[in-house]
Structure 1
């Protein structure tokens, strides 16, 4: 069997989206030590705000993307102040349950405002070019390029900036970081700002590649969680690697299984990863 290069290209596009989303989710976990189930709905909210600015207000897609990112960045901080902050001293299970409630609230709010039907961004109609037998769109190229730039930017931030170094230190030992003078409350603010912005961007990328629906983020959570856990919970570079692996595995699997079953590939990869690499791809999972 000859592998269709189109499937590899599709896998890179999907992997880019999953990697960006997984990076934001794992950054939040590294500092706050809980899996935010509402993260997928943060993605959907960012996508919807960008669509509203683009399709309903009539502004260019670039302006709409910035609006969606800013909205979710600030919105994640507001949700933390209104909800999560009051449960931060509770167990991670309590925060997990609270995040499920937040997820249902956001999803149904989106459905109440914009309805259950799908939407698309208002983009210029262009023929999809092809190269070496691979048909691609400008939006797909933009998704890959933007994701690589973002991943590089976050890597540099974590390695070279004071905020990034403080994030890494707090992820390893939050109590010790506080003793050493790190303002952990301000760090939590930065994490929500950055994590919310990444959620908004990944949701917009998902909307550009597929369709904007209230449950779009929830549907993507399976692959995102698989990437985070496969890469090692709390390990940013592992989440990115896991995201590309899951994206490629899902799309390439279409060559041998019906496309409606490709989302189960992420679960299979997750199970195999937990059995063979329980500490993540790079052995740096947060305990």
Structure 2
């Protein structure tokens, strides 16, 4: 057992910021498309690699992040128009299987374009100690960028016509269509927004660790755990679930060896399904 260290709490907030942002994008996609898109992990990876390519071309890092986000958003829209749209009237399980195939294709395309090596953004800078906590510049970027993007997305969802239409269609697609909402066009908007969020989350993940072709796929378990913990299709729940999972995963080091912490997300996923299948804000099972 390890004594409590405030560094663990800060590291948990950083990881939670990553998971919360990625989970928000996935739950928005599920809310309208009604299937778990396994290729979402590859949207993250492509966002990270596009930003890396821009950085190699000496593009300022802030602009590289924007290019990575836009690139991932366009990939999400293109895959939806070319592939998922053709199966939109099929069972969600069929779409799930199709998304696995799309994920393999996108992952191998990364290897073709960028190779299979591991890369780093190398975000340098001094790491000051604040209240006994070592704060890396990369961590400040991750937490700040996550909060800004989360605020923008929730502002869109609550204060814009597109956001209100997205929420209405997520609650009841048929009723939204009857009320005159163009759900087909809305799918494009949601795919773009979800892909952009994934791209930014991918860059943040690359800043926190490294960039490799399987980075998005391996990050899917904590993302799914956060989405299910918060309630599938619930944006607020996904964010809360993401932060809870990130903080809980890091604090679990106090009780269990650090090599077992990756299994924490899977454990939370199982417990969440057994006790609160409707999410944190849903009704608990007895």
Q: Same fold (TM over 0.5)?
A: yes
Structure 1 runs, 4 residues or longer, greater than 4 Å off: none
Task: Confirm whether residue 152 of structure 1 aligns to residue 170 of structure 2.
Answer: no
Root mean square deviation, CA, Å? 1.4
Matched-pair contact (CA < 8 Å) for 1:228–1:239: yes
Equivalent residue, structure 2, for 1:109: 109
**Counterpart in 2 of 1:8?**
9
- The answer to which of 31-40 and 75-84 deviates more is 75-84
* Aligned mates of 2:173, 2:32 — CA distance in 1: 8
Q: Does 1:168 align with 2:167?
A: yes
Greater mean deviation of Cα atoms: 190-199 or 245-254: 245-254
Deviation at 1:91, TM superposition (A): 0.7
Name the structure 2 match of 1:46.
47
Paired residues, number? 283
Shift, 1:143, TM fit: 1.1
SS of the aligned residue for 2:188 comes to helix
Q: Determine helix, strand or coil for the equivalent of 2:110.
A: helix
- State TM-score, norm by structure 1: 0.95
Structure 1, residues 38-68: CA drift from partner, whole Å, max 9, x if none? 10111001000100110x2121111111110
Asked if 2 retains the 8 angstrom alpha-carbon contact of 1:11 and 1:248, the reply is yes
> Aligned to 1:105, what secondary structure does the other structure show?
helix
Structure 2 residues without counterparts, runs of 5 or longer: none
SS for the counterpart of 1:156 is helix
**Quick one: distance in 1 between partners of 2:250 and 2:280?**
21
- CA shift for structure 1 position 17: 0.5
Hey, what's the Cα distance between the residues in 2 that align with 1:76 and 1:267?
26
Residue matched to 1:88: 88
CA distance in 1, matches of 2:260, 2:212: 20
The worse-fitting range, judged by mean Cα deviation, of 252-261 and 69-78 is 252-261
Q: TM-score, normalised by structure 2?
A: 0.96
Q: Which runs of 5+ in 1 are unaligned?
A: none
> 2:36 & 2:224 partners in 1: Cα distance?
9
3-state SS, counterpart of residue 85 of structure 2: helix
- Please say which of residues 152-161 and 94-103 is displaced more in the overlay: 152-161
Which residue of structure 2 aligns with residue 97 of structure 1?
Answer: 97
SS at match of 2:112: helix
2: CA distance, partners of 1:207 / 1:270 = 24
